[in-house]
Structures are given as structure tokens and as C-alpha cells.
Structure 1
Amino acid sequence: MYFGIAVFPQKHVQDVANSYRKRYDPHYTLIPPHITLMDRFEMAEEEAEKLVPELERIASETEAFRIRLHKVSNFYPASHTIYLAVEDSAPLVTLHKKIKSVVGRVESPYEFIPHLTIGQKLPQDELHDIYSSLRMTTFDLETKIDRFHLLYQLENGSWNIYQSFLLKR
């Protein structure tokens, strides 16, 4: 079974992200706008049950925080992805490291960069056109992060919440 860990921003941020995602993200219908904390990893459900107490501990030791999404950026040439960038990503990076220390097995060839994807798998010309247009747009989106979610992937590729973990208030 495939799992992942993510945070979902508040609705007002999701609405802005979805206004772009519905045009530029083929995963629009598979998962709401999110910031990935742990990429997809394979694990038996029994193992996931053992992971839950560790994730609960991390959540109980982590203060809720706010983030600001302030500009559009991209991962070109590594990936044809356009995203909303997080201004001060330190709290998300710290949370990612804590989660990675208990999940362990997920290796990525890329450095962890917290972001909210608004377009992906775009042809190169379209990527450049969209990015050129959007980088002139001012974004000032703030959202609180008070929980993270262990997600599981269905056979049709969509993601559902397996369990949510509330951060300290």
C-alpha cells in the first residue's frame, strides 16, 4: 500500500491554488492542494499502524505555526512543475526531518523544498509561458498549519486521509 504525508492549507489558500490547478495540474482531481512532507512510500498497513504512535508523538511535540506563500517558482529543468513558494520554510523543514526520522525509508534525489504545486507535467513551452505570466503576479497568502495527515493512495491514483495528527496549540 502506498502512503504519503502532507499538510493541507486553509480553504482560502486552496481556492487560489485550485484556480490554477484545474488548468495546469493533471492531479487536480486526485488530491486537494497540499504541501508534501513525505513523498509516496510503500508500507504494509500493519506497519502503518505501528507508525501512527510515532507520528502522534511528533505532532504532540510540535507547535502549530503559520506560513506565507508569497511567489510563484518552478523546478525546471529537474521537473516541469510550477508552485507557490513558502516564504519561511523552516517550520516545515523541521517537521519533515522529524517525520523522516521515524518513516526512514523514503529516499529522494531532491532536496526537500516545501511548496504548493499549482501546475505539473507541463510541456516545456507551456511551462515557460505560464511561469513568465504568473511570476509577475503578487501572492500574499497566509495559512495556519495545525495538523498533518498520513494519506493512502487508492488504485485509481486518488489520495485519502488515513489519519490526521493535531499539532500543539
Structure 2
Amino acid sequence: MLYGIAVFPEKAVQDEANSWRIRHDPHYCNIAAHMTIREAEDWDETKLRLAVEQLEKTAATLSPFKVKFNRVSTFFPVTPTLYFALEDPSPVAMLHEAVCSGPLEQTLPNYVYTPHITIGRNMPPDELHDLYGNLRMKEIRLATLIDRIHLLYQTEQGGWTAYQSFQLGNG
């Protein structure tokens, strides 16, 4: 079964992201607006048990923190993706490093980890450039508290749902 790890922003941030995702993100119906902490991977029961143990330990050692989104950015030309970018990505990057250690260590990731909330993906280049040109001039001031990590699994219908959540600073 496919499992992934994410954090979900507060409702106001989700609502703003979803106002764009509904038209520009084909994954809109499968998962709420989120920041991926660890990409999806197929796990057996042993790996799942080790992941839960790792997430319990990690969550217990970290305190909740606030993040701010201050602009729209893109991964173009690597991928035709638009996203809300963080003013300071380091707290989420540290969370990613803590989660992706021990049994959840990823060998040779395909990209540099960039925490973000996707608002558009798989867009034709003209549409992406047009929308990006408009949105990069828009003032973005969104903030959210990150106080838990979610271990998710993919359902048979393609949606993602929580397997277990881990509150930060609960140790």
C-alpha cells in the first residue's frame, strides 16, 4: 500500500490554496491542500510499523511552529507547477530532515526538498506563465501553525486519508 507523510495548514490557508487548486490541480479531489514531508512509497507491514515508531519519536522531540507563505512561485521548467512559497522554509526543512532519518531515510532523492503548497500542476506552459505572471504580483500573507504530522495512505479510489496523526511536542 502507498503511504506518505504530510502536514496540513489551517483552514484559512487551505481555503486560499483550494480557490486555485480547484481549477489548476488535478489532485484537488484526492487530497486537501498540504505540504508533503515525505513522498509516497509502497510499504509492507514491517516498514509501516517502523515508520510509526519513527514518527512517534520525531513528533515527541519537536515543538509546534508557525510558518508564513509570502509569494507564489513555480518549479518551471523542471515541472509545470505553481505553489505558495514559504517566507522561511527552514523549520519545515528541519521537520523533513528529522522525519526522513533512520528507517525513513530516503536514498538519493530525485530533487532538492522545497516545502510548499501546490496550487497548480500539469499546466500547459502558456497557462502556467499567464497565471504565474498574475499571481507573482499578488500580495500573499498567509500563516499557519504546524502542530502535527500525518501519516497518510492512498485508498483504492486514489484519494489520500490519514492512517495516524502525531502531535508535535507530545513527548
TM-score, normalised with respect to structure 2? 0.95
The match for 2:70 is 70
Could you tell me which residue of structure 1 aligns to residue 126 of structure 2? 125
State the partner residue of 1:11.
11
SS in structure 2 opposite 1:58? helix
Matched, 1:45 2:45: yes
Q: Which amino acid aligns with 1:85?
A: A
C-alpha contact 1:7 1:35 (8 A) present in aligned 2 = yes
Residue 166 of structure 1 and its aligned partner are, at CA, apart by 0.3
Partner of 1:144: 145
- Partner of 2:98 in structure 1? 98
The superposition leaves residues 111-169 of structure 1 with CA deviations (integer Å, 9 ceiling, x where unpaired) of 00000000001011111111011111101001000001010111222101010010017
1:106–1:120: structure 2 CA closer, same or farther, 3 Å change rule? farther
Give unpaired runs (5+ residues) of structure 1.
Answer: none
3-state SS of the aligned residue for 1:14? helix
Determine whether 1:134 maps to 2:135: yes
Q: What SS is found at the alignment partner of 1:39?
A: strand
Q: Distance in 1 between matches of 2:62 and 2:35?
A: 17
Partner SS state of residue 58, structure 2: helix
Alpha-carbon offset, residue 47 of structure 1 = 2.2
List structure 1 runs of 4+ shifted beyond 4 angstroms.
none
Q: Where does structure 2 lack aligned partners over 5 or more consecutive residues?
A: none
Superposition deviation, residue 20 in structure 1: 0.4
Q: Distance in 2 between matches of 1:35 and 1:54?
A: 19
> Which residue is equivalent to 1:79?
79
Q: May I ask how many residue pairs the two structures share in their alignment? A: 169
CA drift at 1:107? 4.2
SS of equivalent to 1:152: strand
The SS at the match of 2:33 is coil
| Secondary structure in structure 2 of the residue aligned to 1:70 | strand
* Superposition CA RMSD, Å: 1.2
Q: Conserved in 2, the CA contact under 8 Å of 1:39 and 1:106?
A: no
1:41·1:106 contact (CA, 8 Å) conserved in 2? no
Distance 2:5 2:108 in 1: 14
Q: Distance in 1 between matches of 2:155 and 2:44?
A: 14
